[in-house]
């Protein structure tokens, strides 16, 4: 039985014996309200005009933002693709406890070089803070501004997934036996990690206010730029590229448990970025607004500079099969892809795919022995139609 005083304790809490509470007589005001309600029911009075004059919700009246339809009415859908994202996301359920990390503990302490441990710990140090910012962006800055419930419902699932990712990084850090206080504080004391976090926080702060007026064109443009940043840069490029140093270790047979955790996270992030880009495109069309080319140029340049600084720190000494130069070039290539999906100019013409194996990590389908482990395989995930 659920104990409502202590929900984590399933045993009931005995109530002390006591005399029955004295019956309280209603106040005159309470009695008058009760009489009025009874009289209305008995005389079959009509409903108030404010109720019967409400109009049915039409799907075509829904909008990404500034919608006038009832936010509480899910269907009919104007954005059925958003509902499909929600349904697909629920096929992708997993937890970090599903994945065996025993070999990773041995690898970290007995097989990784000093340089490889530096890469591993700093990737996790960045991700632990970054996914909390992703969660806060969706839950605080974005969801309440969406005026179609099918969008909000997927974003509610996305918020949960960001929390799940944060748990996953914490689980890896704790399982390996790292100093959690030291790891979690690196974003504050390591300038190259802090630069990416600070840029993200600035975009979040710009739209976090609940009273932002999205009917004002300037404020709407600020919101659009923040939304594009989180979809195309933060999750679509930085996150997509950010797991690759761990995947490089996995390709050499090390830290495979952590890499598998990140594969599941990557598939979530691919869906987040895909959804965000689709919302941004719909928003641009509905509101007849485009991102300012100069603002886009500055965003990409700042993102590239932050990524280059980060790569130079975590890969100050290249590890076998992976270097800072490859990391930055891959970022440029991914950024071009995201820009093309948005329908804007590619920021880094000529950038090459430095890590052709990276896309495999989102699409890889593993075979699981049904009798040895619970199936945690994704049904969809990385193979998405970005249109």
C-alpha distance from residue 318 to each of 195, 312, 313 (Å):
21, 9, 10
d(CA 117, CA 288): 49
Given 126, 169, 310, 322, the catalytic residue: 169
- Stated length of the chain: 387
d(CA 230, CA 233): 6
- 174 is known to lie in a ligand binding site: no
Alpha helices in 28-113 (DSSP H): 28-43, 49-52, 80-91, 102-110
- 269 is known to lie in a ligand binding site: yes
d(CA 208, CA 63): 20
- 131 is known to lie in a ligand binding site: yes
C-alpha distance from residue 270 to each of 16, 33, 68, 102, 133 (Å):
55, 55, 31, 28, 17
Which residues touch 25 (CB under 8 Å, ≥6 apart)? Answer: none
- 93 is known to lie in a ligand binding site: no
Rounded to 5 degrees, what angle do the CA atoms 203, 237, 138 make? 45
Annotation says 264 is catalytic: no
- 165 is known to lie in a ligand binding site: yes
Q: Two tokens at 375?
A: 């199936």
| Cβ 144 vs Cβ 210: under 8 Å | yes
Rg of the chain on CA atoms, in Å: 26
| Cβ 77 vs Cβ 150: under 8 Å | yes
| Cβ 271 vs Cβ 384: under 8 Å | yes
- 327 is known to lie in a ligand binding site: no
Helix axes 191-207, 114-136, angle to 10 degrees: 10
The reply to whether omega before 76 is within 30° of 0 (cis) is yes
Q: What is the helix (H) or strand (E) element at residue 199, kind and residue range?
A: helix 191-207
User: Which residues make up each annotated binding site for Fe cation?
Assistant: 131, 162, 165, 235, 269, 272
Q: Show which residues are catalytic.
A: 169
Please report, in range form, the residues annotated as the binding site: 131, 162, 165, 235, 269, 272
């Amino acid at each position: 039985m659920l104990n409502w005083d202590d929900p984590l304790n399933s045993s009931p809490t005995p109530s002390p014996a006591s005399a029955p509470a004295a019956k309280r007589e209603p106040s005159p005001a309470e009695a008058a309200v009760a009489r009025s309600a009874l009289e209305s029911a008995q005389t079959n009075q009509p409903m108030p005009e404010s109720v019967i004059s409400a109009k049915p919700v039409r799907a075509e009246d829904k909008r990404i933002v500034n919608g006038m339809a009832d936010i509480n009415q899910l269907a009919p859908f104007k954005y059925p693709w958003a509902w499909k994202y929600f349904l697909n996301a629920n096929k992708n359920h997993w937890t970090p406890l599903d994945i065996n990390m025993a070999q990773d503990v041995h690898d970290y302490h007995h097989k990784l070089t000093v340089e490889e441990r530096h890469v591993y710990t700093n990737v996790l140090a960045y991700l632990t803070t970054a996914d909390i910012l992703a969660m806060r962006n969706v839950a605080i800055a974005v969801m309440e501004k969406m005026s179609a419930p099918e969008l909000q419902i997927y974003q509610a699932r996305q918020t949960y997934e960001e929390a799940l990712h944060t748990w996953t990084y914490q689980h890896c850090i704790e399982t390996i036996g790292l100093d959690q206080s030291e790891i979690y504080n690196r974003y504050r004391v390591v300038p190259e990690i802090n630069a990416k976090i600070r840029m993200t926080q600035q975009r979040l702060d710009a739209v976090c206010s609940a009273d932002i007026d999205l009917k004002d064109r300037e404020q709407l443009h600020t919101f659009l730029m923040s939304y594009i940043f989180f979809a195309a840069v933060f999750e679509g490029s930085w996150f997509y590229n950010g797991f690759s140093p761990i995947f490089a270790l996995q390709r050499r047979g090390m830290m495979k448990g952590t890499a598998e955790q990140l594969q599941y996270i990557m598939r979530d992030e691919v869906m987040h970025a895909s959804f965000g880009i689709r919302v941004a495109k719909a928003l641009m069309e509905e509101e007849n607004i485009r991102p300012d080319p100069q603002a886009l140029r500055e965003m990409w340049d700042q993102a590239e500079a932050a990524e280059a600084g980060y790569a130079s720190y975590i890969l100050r000494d290249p590890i076998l099969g992976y270097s800072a130069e490859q990391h930055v070039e891959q970022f440029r290539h991914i950024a071009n892809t995201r820009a093309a999906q948005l329908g804007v100019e590619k920021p880094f013409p000529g950038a090459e795919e430095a890590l052709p194996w990276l896309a495999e990590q989102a699409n890889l389908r593993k075979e699981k022995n049904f009798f040895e482990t619970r199936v945690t395989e994704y049904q969809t995930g990385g193979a998405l139609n970005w249109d």
